[in-house]
Structure formats: structure tokens, C-alpha cells
Amino acid sequence: MKTTLLLFLAALTAMAFKSDKPAYMLYDSEGKNVKYEKMIEMISSADVVFFGELHDNPISHWLELEITAGLHSVAGNNLIIGAEMFEADNQLLLDEYLGTKYQADKFESEAKLWKNYKTDYKPLVEFARKNGLPFIATNVPRRYASMVSRGGFEVLDSLTQEAKRYMAPLPVSYDPELKCYKDMLSMPGMGGKPNLNFPKAQAIKDATMAHFIAVNLAEGKKFIHYNGAYHSDNYQGIVHYLRLDRPDVRVATITTVLQDDISNLSEENKGVADFIVAVPQTMTRTY
């Protein structure tokens, strides 16, 4: 009777676990399950933490806020925040808003903000404002990335010195054989003859984000940076440029992936980052 009862309870437990619907599962680079607290402990030893998001994924955005709060509990006022979603020529507006010089509605009408700002990035800006933390607009102004996409890096030489303040120092080092750039030439929609300048536009973004991380990373500080996963996956993109500039910097990476089944990390997603947030393919999108 006792054995039957134990078997029955074991079956119920197994059914309960099988019927769970977690919103995400967290893995290390080898595909082993890792506890959230352990991840926070490990990334806290890094100088720069990259959170690679899927722009329309609510789990990415929720975890960005949670992880920022977790790092803030460790680093306090030594934490710096930065994001792809803010272009360098908006830094003054961002600084003035963080310094409470003017109200949210004025800031939001004047700054170049992504369409999902209010739901996905405003909580991060407000966290910085509440806690007196710097928030760095790291990305190159989109008009300059567009220029590179059409005419290559050379078109940037004609810009004024004022304009060049908002990008990585020229000339920008570029390796067309780097996988993240090489793969862009075979992306869907490239058509017959690929635009060889297309990945260069990505590179000027990566180089610029790395530049503004590097120049704002003072000794004893920690920097968390939010960006699309493609900008930091496989330790390429921004990470590549940051290591060229500051090889001494300790980096930790987090990425977000979609899977039909998140109970195990797929082989293709192993090694993409130090920590991988696996989210169900059916997860609701924010836009």
C-alpha cells in the first residue's frame, strides 16, 4: 500500500512538472540550467554586461529591468546604463531629463524614441532617473548608418568634426570575414547581388556603441548595455570592437532566443552567450 501511494505521488509530481508553463528558462553557455541568482552573482564580476534582447519580446524587457536592479544592488552608484535604443546626439536631452530639468512629456516629444519606448525602455530610463544613475546614448545617429549603407565608410569623411563626435573615431576597423557581418550578406531579402555596404552600417553601429561604452567606463564602474541580440551574440559585434579598444575589460553576455520547446537548450543556441534566456516561440510580442 505504501509503495503504491509513493508511486501515485511520484506520478502526480511528474504530471505537475510536465504541465508547468514557464515564461522562460535560463541556461549557461553549455546548455545547463542555471539559477537566476547564480547568474547575477557571476555577471557582477564583469565590467560590462551586454543584454542581447529581441526587440519585441516582453521577457527580454522585463529581465532587463530585473537584472539592472540586481546589478544596482551590488554596484550601487557605480552602475552605468547604456542602450542601442538611444542615439548619441540625444545625450543632452537624456541628461537633462535624468537631471529632472524638464518633464517626461517634453522629453518624449523631443527625443528620438523607439515606438515601444513607453512599454519597454521607459522603465529603464526611469530606474536610472530614480537612482541617479547615468544613462548613455551609445548608438550612432541613424542618418549616418544609413549613409554608410548606401556609400560605405568613406562617406563619413566628408562630415564635419561636430558630426564625427557622435560616432566611433574614424577610420573604423572592419573585418568582412567576421561571421556576424558575413552572414548579413545572405540574409533573406538581400536579392540577387548583395549590398556589400549593408554589414558596414551594422559595423559603424557596433563600433560606435563600443566607443561610448569604453569612454564612459571609468575605473571601478560597471556598465550594463541593452542591445539587439545580434549586436553581441557569439561575442562579436559590439563585444568585438570593445575588446579591440579595451582588451582589459571583463565582459559578460546574455542573449534571448526563441524555441518551440524550452525544456532543453537547442544545440544551435549553445555557446552564443554566457547566459541564454530561452523563451517559448508562442510568447506574446510587444508590437
pLDDT in tens, 15-53: 444 558 899 999 999 999 999 999 999 999 999 999 999
Tell whether 139 is covered by a domain: yes
Eight-state DSSP code of residue 181: H
H/E run at residue 135: strand 135-139
pLDDT score recorded for residue 16: 45
Task: Enumerate the β-bridge partners of residue 52.
Answer: 227, 255
Neighbours of 57 (CB within 10 A): 22
Q: How far apart are CA 68 and CA 81, in angstroms?
A: 8
Range of the domain at 37: 24-280
Tell whether 115 is covered by a domain: yes
Tell whether 5 is covered by a domain: no
pTM score: 0.91
> For residue 212, with 0-12 CB atoms within 10 Å meaning exposed, 13-18 middle and 19 or more buried, which class applies?
buried
Tell whether 13 is covered by a domain: no
Tell whether 2 is covered by a domain: no
Q: What CATH number should be reported for the domain holding residue 262?
A: 3.40.50.11550
- How confident is the model over 232-276, as pLDDT tens digits? 999 999 999 999 999 999 999 999 999 999 999 999 999 999 999
User: How many domains would you assign to the chain?
Assistant: 1
Tell whether 15 is covered by a domain: no
Q: How far apart are CA 258 and CA 44, in angstroms?
A: 26
**200: Cβ contacts below 8 Å, ≥ 6 apart:** 148, 149, 152, 153, 174, 181
Tell whether 1 is covered by a domain: no
pLDDT score recorded for residue 190: 60
Q: Which segments in the chain show pLDDT lower than 50?
A: 1-2, 4-6, 8-9, 11-17
pLDDT score recorded for residue 21: 87
Q: How many residues does the chain have?
A: 287
What's the number of CA atoms in the CB half-sphere (13 Å) around residue 215?
14
H/E run at residue 86: strand 79-87
- Which three cell numbers, joined as nine digits, stand for 183? 552572414
For 89-105, letters b (16+ CB in 10 Å) and e give: bbbebbeebbeeeeeee
